[in-house]
Amino acid sequence: MLTTKTAIQAALVGGILAGAIDIGAACVIFHAPPEPVLKSIAAGIVGRDAARGGGMDMVLLGAFLQEFISVVAAGIYAFASMRLPILIRQWLIMGILFGGACDLFLMHIVGPLAGLHMQTVGTYGWWANLIANMLTYGPPIAFVNQWFANR
């Protein structure tokens, strides 16, 4: 079982790992190097034009935001698993579902609220992003969470 201390540890480790993997997956899906991918994340706060026109400051802001969001998501999963043990027992299935839920939340709520142009539902980019998050974002968070719960 997770304690508050191990839940925080799981959130930090799982979030940082998932955030890094997610950037790599985005680079592969969109055939882009990390710089424009990270700038597109920074655009959620500073706007598209400012992010594109910026330099290393925008890249670092995007990296920070990616990792911050990922640690928060992993924290939500870890603290939820303290009340819902199925999130630990069935970590792979729950991780896949959690990755999909995170993707849909970011693509259809956060992105539009930030004024970003998001992938159109049903397009290659939309499906690729959803599947990538289901396979490479949620499962690392869930795996690290169950590892901390079972050690």
Task: Report yes or no on whether pTM surpasses 0.75.
Answer: yes
Q: Give the pLDDT of residue 111.
A: 79
Q: Is the pLDDT of residue 130 over 80?
A: yes
pLDDT in tens, 105-122: 988 888 787 777 778 898
In DSSP notation, 31-100 reads T--HHHHHHHHHHHHH-HHHHHH--HHHHHHHHHHHHHHHHHHHHHHHHHHTT-THHHHTHHHHHHHHHH
